[in-house]
Amino acid sequence: MKQFGVEVQRPASDTFVISEHAAYQAREYQIEPDVSAACYFYAMAPLLGIPVCVEHVHFESLQGDVEFLHILEKMGCTAQETEKGVLLLPPASADAGTPVPTFHGVTVDMSSCSDQAITLAAIAPFADTPTCIKGIGHIRFQESDRIHAICTELTRMGIRCEETQDSITIYPGMPRPCTVTT
């Protein structure tokens, strides 16, 4: 077989043989960033009222978590594809005297980006209407029952929430200080 113009033999599944006259040729290419980790930064846009751009995150990403940007758009943010990456702008302030803009709760199926259910749950109490996260029943079977853990910890903070087998609804409220059990 040929790889990058060089003849490569594969006598066994764990062995590659390259001709002794082949030369290494360095290449530069962009590795797609971890969109899951980038979403924590994007979640700051509506929460803090600041623009956020994570370099090299683009809508054509192969990672499902890029859908989280569209959820933030439904909450009132504006996403713009730029050369650097997706720029997420916070919602416009309701009035000029409000330092942090108001953003809206959503009802959303997160089955394609369920890792971000926790991120959305963390900012949901600050929305002006309830947020319902659906299609996430399978996250009960990860390293913990994530739906129950979200409800337990938000309730500990004084935030009203309701869980079903496949969803969680989080109501607006001001979290109070507490110790969170991870």
42-92 tens-digit pLDDT: 999 999 999 999 999 999 999 999 999 999 999 999 999 999 999 999 998
| 8 A C-beta contact, residue 132 and residue 104 | no
What pLDDT, on the 0 to 100 scale, is given for residue 17?
A: 85
Phi, psi of 12 (to 5 degrees): -145, 165
Cα 78 to Cα 130: distance, rounded to the nearest angstrom? 20
- 91-106 pLDDT per residue, tens: 987 555 556 668 999 9
Q: Which of 14, 34, 65, 115 is catalytic?
A: 115
Q: Which residues of 129-168 are buried (b: 16+ CB within 10 A; e: fewer)?
A: ebbbbbbbeebeeeeeebbebbbebbeeeebebebeebbb
Q: Is 14 a catalytic residue?
A: no
